[in-house]
Amino acid sequence: MSDPTLYPVSPEWAERALMDKAGYGAARQQAQQGPDAFWAQAATRLDWITAPTVIKNVSFDRADFRIRWFEDGVLNVAWNCIDRHLPTRRDQTAILWEGDEPTDSRAITYGELHGQVCRMANVLKAQGVKKGDRVTLYLPMIPEAAYAMLACARIGAVHSVVFGGFSPDSLAGRIEDCASRIVITADEGLRGGKTIPLKANVDAALERVSGVETVLVIRRTGADVAMVAGRDVAYAEAAAGVSDDCPCEPMNAEDPLFILYTSGSTGKPKGVLHTTGGYLFWASWTHELVFDYRPGEVFWCTADVGWVTGHSYVVYGPLANAGTTLMFEGVPNYPTVSRFWEVVDKHKVEIFYTAPTALRALMREGDEPVKSTSRASLRLLGSVGEPINPEAWRWYHEVVGEGRLPIVDTWWQTETGGILVSPLPGATDLKPGSATLPLPGVELQLVDAEGQVLEGATSGNLVITDSWPGQMRTVYGDDQRFFDTYFSAYPGKYFTGDGCRRDEDGYYWITGRVDDVINVSGHRMGTAEVESALVLHDDVAEAAVVGFPHDIKGQGIYAYVTLNKGVEAHDDLKKALVAHVRKEIGPIAAPDAIHWAPGLPKTRSGKIMRRILRKIAENDLTSLGDTSTLADPGVVDDLVKTRAQH
Ligand code: ATP
Ligand code: MG
């Protein structure tokens, strides 16, 4: 459902921005006409030990498939994120850490960051970790998580960060997949006033998987945890015995930097592999461009480092750009639902980047918890992770941003390393709910199921016709799965898995995963569109829509609806919601079934798992699949129980 309103670039933004409309047009053209020259010039933003002379070497064809960027370049990521800033910024805050409790915060300067990362690198070396070894990180959002990532990068080890909310089973699977011999964890995590038994989870995971020789345990809460002799090492003691200086390992641009398993909303998690040069370049370049970022500005991305968003926009992008990055241990609703905005005021945050799922949850609480804070330091808002429904966009813009702040709705994936489609605050007029236009150098197409290229205003499957430096290089240990998943559906093109609409202005509207597109009586519809219409209703907090087999229509529309606090579920409301969707989109989109859902199954990163909702809607309860990455598996049981009534 498109919002007719256009929010033009303000004169102040056009004035101050690094890239204005003309600059954006020119950059797109340059990137198209001479990609090697364009990217070679752009890549000078990094400090290279040996500057690359071969810029791009890519083929998406099966016969000679390869993705290589800057392949003869040599650099080190930790050097780029720390050491090179020291001469001028030793005392600038690199990491602003805000703990779970509002009384708990800390500023870490670049000078301190250097010492801490070197120490951890030396501890890893002392434990026998070498270039190319995989190191699993299972940590809370504490500065040590960033130290550990950068320490690996410093010595050329490959990190695999596993979100601290994952179960022992999920952790074991990820340790096994990349055969790590070392795990870095903490005694406990702390989120929303509750402790998470991280070390105990590691112990449980290691009963299921062999090969781990060392567990480094960082002290967070000070809880008394069991230590296995000969395997477990208290980090503080080990760190006290090593030097706080450690040289950076020269790395080839195509050496692996990290593995990160996708959230698993579409199936078995994939070990997405990113390499050194292309990834760091992309994280840094997009962070500067999309957030119009200048060194030293206070940047807050609320994502956990367990997700790619935390990798690219909590750690690597901001630090490569000599930034001050805020790292938040807690949750949006602890101790109160004003917490985000209080943190903004406390640390004078200038740029704030979060996910629609958090915004929708906060929106439910009304405007007062936002309005009671100042937010005067903010100048830019961002969104990532899901399509942001226009209703949430407008709330973000009007209530959080008081109508004065642009919103960058950034579309990207774990696979893409960083943002690919997004407005630029000084160059792009905004439309609520649209990720707008591709960044320079990103070539999008919409194709139909047969691969036919679709022109003009239309809907189809989103593909990318050429490589960009931040593209993933393979699925760890499974090149075949990499090719099959992304390059076989539409030969010669990268298939995103997402459905998308392009409007008459050439703006892109992600409509959700292609698997989630429903076909009602021959009309293709994105689930996001129907969900947005439902959420627009005053009584609805959240909605998830899936298709189910329907005798007449082919597919019917099945809507799971969570009501706002205090609203009672009843049949008249169902009728009202159906009528409301008819009015908003048209009769074709009217839900055939509405299922009152006290909660929705979500991945740990807050995305709705429609795969499971589809099964429940189809009444196929025997094969719900892998639910281990769900935030709260209990939600599924509740939905199954109430299924009969629908
Ligand atoms: P898996 O691949 O394991 O199913 P996932 O796709 O949820 O997990 P991510 O890589 O974190 O893992 O998410 C990328 C997906 O999130 C995109 O393909 C898209 O569907 C959605 N997405 C991210 N940002 C946006 C956005 N701004 N607008 C619309 N959709 C978005
Ligand atoms: Mg995905």
191 labeled binding residue: yes
ipTM of the complex: 0.99
Q: Which residues touch 88 (CB under 8 Å, ≥6 apart)?
A: none
Helices (H) then strands (E): counts for the chain: 22, 31
For helices 143-155 and 110-126, angle between their N-to-C axes, nearest 10 degrees? 60
Do the beta carbons of residue 639 and residue 627 sit within 8 Å?
no
Q: Decide: 532 in ligand 1 pocket, CB within 6 A.
A: no
Strand partners, 550: 554
Please name the residue whose Cα sits nearest to atom 17 of ligand 1.
Answer: 413
> For residues 471 and 67, is the Cβ–Cβ distance under 8 A?
yes
- Ligand 2 centroid vs 375 CA: distance in angstroms? 33
Q: CA neighbours within 13 Å on the CB side: how many for 277?
A: 32
Q: In whole angstroms, what is the distance from residue 518 CA to residue 634 CA?
A: 27
Cα 533 to middle of ligand 1, angstroms: 21
Name residues of the chain where pLDDT drops below 70: 1-4, 263-267, 626, 644-646
| Cis peptide bond N-terminal to 197, omega within 30 | no
| The ligand 1 atom nearest the CA atom of 307 | 11
Ligand 1 centroid, distance to 385 Cα (angstroms): 5
Does 386 belong to an annotated binding site? yes
Residues 399-423: tens digit of each pLDDT: 999 999 999 999 999 999 999 999 9
Instruction: Give me the sign of the Cα torsion angle 83, 85, 86, 90.
Output: negative
Ligand 1 and 433: CB distance under 6 A = no
**Probe residue for ligand 1, chosen from 510, 516, 626 as the CB with the greatest number of ligand atoms within 8 Å:** 510
611 annotated ligand-binding residue: no
C-alpha span between 402 and 380 (Å, rounded): 11
494 HSE (CA, 13 A, CB side):
23
**What atom of ligand 1 comes closest to residue 264's alpha carbon?**
3
Instruction: Give the CA distances from residue 526 to residues 68, 262, 509, in Å, rounded to whole numbers and listed in that order.
Output: 34, 22, 10
409 CB near ligand 1 (under 6 Å): yes
Q: Is 385 in the pocket of ligand 1 (CB under 6 A)?
A: yes
Identify the helix (H) or strand (E) that includes residue 4.
Answer: none
Torsion 386-391-393-396 (CA) sign: negative
CB-ligand 1 contact for 516 (6 Å cutoff): no
Residue 262, C-beta contacts closer than 8 angstroms, at least 6 positions apart: 269, 270, 272, 414, 415
435 lines ligand 1 (CB under 6 A): yes
Which one-letter DSSP state was computed for residue 347?
Answer: H
Rounded Cα–Cα distance for residues 496 and 463 (Å)? 6
CB neighbours of residue 62 within 10 Å: 11
**Nearest residue by C-alpha to atom 18 in ligand 1:** 413
User: In which order are the strands placed within the sheet that holds 134-138?
Assistant: 232-234, 214-218, 182-186, 134-138, 158-161, 256-261, 271-275, 474-475
Q: Give yes or no for residue 423 CB within 6 A of ligand 1.
A: no
Q: Is 412 annotated as a binding residue?
A: yes
Q: In the block, which residue shows the tokens 């008249």?
A: 572
Q: Which residue, judged by its Cα, is nearest atom 27 of ligand 1?
A: 411
Give the pLDDT score at 1: 46
Q: Residue 84, annotated ligand binder?
A: no
Looking from the CA of residue 603, the nearest atom of ligand 1 is 7
Q: How many angstroms does the Cα of residue 228 sit away from the middle of ligand 1?
A: 39
What's the pLDDT at 587? 86
* 440 belongs to an annotated ligand binding site: no
521 annotated binding-site participant: yes
Give 335 Cα–ligand 2 centroid separation in angstroms: 32
Residue in 416, 411, 420 with CA at minimum distance from that of residue 473: 416
Three-state DSSP at 59 gives: strand
Query: Which helix (H) or strand (E) segment is 2 a member of?
Result: none
pTM of the model: 0.91
Tell whether 516 is in a known binding site.
no
Does the CA dihedral 298-470-285-117 come out positive or negative?
A: positive
